[in-house]
Amino acid sequence: MSKRYFVLMKGGKDTSQVFASKQPRGAALKAASRGEKDIHLRERGGKGRVHVFTGWREQVRKPDNGPEWLPDKVWKANVKKIRVDHLN
């Protein structure tokens, strides 16, 4: 499976933010890590599908095997898929 591109939508219109990932969830995690909560991702060049997620991020302790320069608290993104809408 190759890399796919997903455009973040707000208010039913495309934004300039594009996330690349093999799966829609990976793109949604990238959007959630930037603070997005209501995530609508349109598949670019696809079949007109819009993947709808709820996203949040929380501060957690750094992993035990984390590098020395990493702060004690890091942001961890989470998403939950709600549905897939079809355009047209």
Tens of pLDDT, residues 4-18: 999 999 998 999 999
Q: Residue 2's pLDDT is what? A: 87
Q: Which two tokens stand for residue 33?
A: 């890590």
Q: Mean pLDDT, to the nearest integer, of 45-74?
A: 93
Strand residue runs (E) in 11-72:
13-21, 38-43, 49-61
Give me the pLDDT at residue 43, please: 92
The model's pTM: 0.88
SS3 state at 28: helix
